[in-house]
Amino acid sequence: MEAIKTLNALGLLSGSSIQGVDAALISTDGVDVYDYGPCVNVPYDEALRDKIRSVIGRKPESEEELARIAEIEREITEFHARIVKDFIADYDVKIDVIGFEGHTVYNNPAEHYTLQMGDGALLSELTGIKVVNKFHKADILAGGQGGPLEPVYHAAVCSDMGKPIAVVNIAGLSNVTWIGSYGEMMAFDTGPGNAAINDWVRKHAGMDMDYNGKLAITGTVNEQIVASLMRHKYFGKYPPKSADRETFKEKLEHLEGLSLEDGAATVTAFVAESIAYSILMYLPEIPKILLVCGGGAKNPTILRFLRQRLPDMIVKTVSEEGLNSEALGAQSIAFQAVRRLYYLPISFPTTTGVSEPMVGGQISEYVRL
């Protein structure tokens, strides 16, 4: 194991909403975070976004499908490499390690199978920097859910805040991290997130997302449909548990027949309701404060719906606590990379259901001859 020292780690996160890649730099020893560096978001071009969308949600069963995924994986990796090079040039920073999340194609804990697109060895070769990726694999092979993996980072950045506290990350899917009074953790996917909203507005308005929740706020929530959506069997499963982008796809067909605005309002309410229900139903102790991060933190309508459903809880964004909401996910990947170098666990029995704390991630270091 390397001697413990503070490293500059760059996290690269390609979220399940397929909007683009977040890149964020932190200085950390894998236990504490000592400095926060720049953060950028680089959108995917529409062609690459469509290619990614074409393969996610199902397990590849043929050589042709695997070859197609490998082709897209190389393109994704090269896209990330350009981001790293531009980041270094723009900010004149030294990077010791890259945490490379890649993009999840398929995740099925019941099969002990997970697949993320992203070639760590190629990224290391293209950038000349040590890379850690495949964070989920060890956990899922050991019987865990494969995620969420952010809780260990949430615990680090919330160490000085009052407990118990919860952090909800509204990305393509939504997940919650609960941190108790003595630092104990619990985490799980609460259900749908931005991907469900994005899919609705893309299909019915040709838009990538409901910008600032403007469509949802002008529509009327169909509470009967929300109640129907909440009868999905996922919400009856006790944590730890994880979902994927396809988990709620069939149920969301109940939205068809609504107007664009009413559909946006109803699916946004579904996201908020699933988060609120999960918090009230499954957390060991109800937190006084709920911090919201991820893309959903920029959607005032989601925040409004959450506050309506959790009236006894202070709901605010992590930005209001001095953290960068847009960077938190990528920072978590950087943090996990450093923990891998120092053999520190990133998943735990109460966060992914694995039988014991697990070190996760595969290290790639290209050596030029």
Same domain, 197 and 274: yes
Q: For residues 163 and 263, state if they share a domain.
A: yes
- In sequence order, which ranges of 92-146 are alpha helices (DSSP H)? 120-127, 137-141
Of 7-21, 96-110, 196-210, 219-233, the range with the highest mean pLDDT is 219-233
109 and 132 assigned to the same domain: yes
Q: How many CB atoms lie within 10 A of CB 54?
A: 11
112 φψ region: left (φ > 0), alpha (ψ -120 to 50), beta (else): left
Q: Residue 1 — pLDDT band, cuts 50, 70, 90?
A: low
Going by their DSSP bridges, the two strands 130-133 and 97-100 should be labelled as parallel
Q: What is the pTM of this model?
A: 0.89
Q: Are residues 135 and 176 in the same domain?
A: no
At how many degrees (to 10) do helices 63-91 and 120-127 cross? 30
- 104-156, pLDDT tens digit by residue? 888 888 888 888 999 999 999 999 999 999 999 889 999 999 889 999 999 99
Q: What are the pLDDT digits (tens) for 71-96? A: 999 999 999 999 999 999 999 999 99
Number of domains comprising the chain: 2
Find the CATH number of the domain harbouring 22: 3.30.420.40
CA-based Rg of the chain, rounded to a whole angstrom? 19
Same domain? 251 vs 207: yes
Strand ranges in the chain using DSSP code E only, listed in sequence order: 7-14, 20-28, 33-43, 97-100, 103-108, 113-117, 130-133, 165-170, 173-179, 185-192, 289-293, 314-317, 362-364
pLDDT, tens digit (0-9, with 9 covering 90-100), for 234-263:
999 999 998 887 888 888 899 999 999 999
Question: Which H/E stretch holds residue 258?
Answer: none
347 burial via Cβ count (<10 Å: 0-12, 13-18, 19+): buried
